[in-house]
Amino acid sequence: MSADETRQRILERAIEVIDARGEDALRVIEVARLAGVTQGMVTYHFGSRHELVAEAQLVRYATNMMVDVEELASIVHTLHDVDALFAVAMRFTERALLPERVRARRARVSAAGFGVGDEHVRAVLQQAATTAIDGLTAFATAMADRGLLRPGVSPRALATFIQSYNLGLVQWDLDERPVPGEEIVDVIARFMRSVIAID
């Protein structure tokens, strides 16, 4: 196994541990065992437990955030009417409520929380967030250029709002008495109708 493959395997095992039990539960010796390497190999590749956790959190944050942005970029050329755009918006909204997306939001919140106390991590998280918002802004700009958004809607503000409500759904995830998902979808649909040029 090459050095890059070894490093990647260690990072993947660290992410699995954090996903399963949180960053506080991560032990270098356990990650080494799960990756099939020595503890010294983990230290060689990452320097310290903190650096391993930091990199794992960065990957968790960026990976989960870019999935939808990349999918939107791949379909932007197919959307030429408001009904198609609205259908895509609702499909992504409904998908945001799926159990695997709950886990993804938790990963993003955990990674963002880790970045609060670490200046380097925070800078990389900002870069990842900006990249995602840039991607959504490009999508929204294409929709605005086709006349599918209401005049005056800022593509970047819309992109920021979409990222914010997606991450903000963590409140729904944590609510002891959550409203049914259909009610969340209905509220977001009402908002999207106010932004998309639906007559």
Model confidence pLDDT, tens digit, residues 54-99? 888 888 887 767 888 999 999 999 999 999 999 999 999 999 999 8
75 and 17 part of one domain: no
Q: How far apart are CA 14 and CA 171, in angstroms?
A: 26
Write out the residue range of the structural domain in which residue 6 sits.
1-47
187 and 96 part of one domain: yes
State the sign of the Cα–Cα–Cα–Cα dihedral 85, 91, 92, 94. Answer: positive
60 and 157 part of one domain: yes
83 and 3 part of one domain: no
34 and 125 part of one domain: no
135 and 177 part of one domain: yes
38 and 113 part of one domain: no
Give the per-residue pLDDT at 64: 66
Domain total of the chain: 2
Give pTM, 2 decimals: 0.82
152 and 180 part of one domain: yes
Q: What percent of the chain has pLDDT over 70?
A: 99
28 within 8 A of 49, measured Cβ to Cβ: yes
14 and 82 part of one domain: no
Give the per-residue pLDDT at 144: 97
With a cut of 50, list the residues of the chain below it in pLDDT. Answer: none
133 and 38 part of one domain: no
CATH no. for residue 138?
1.10.357
CATH no. for residue 30?
1.10.10
Contacts 24+ apart (CB under 8 A), 89-96: 89/188, 89/189, 89/192, 89/196, 90/185, 90/188, 90/189, 90/192, 92/68, 93/184, 93/185, 93/188, 93/189, 93/192, 94/181, 94/185, 96/166, 96/169
94 and 165 part of one domain: yes
Q: What DSSP designation does 153 have?
A: -
107 and 152 part of one domain: yes
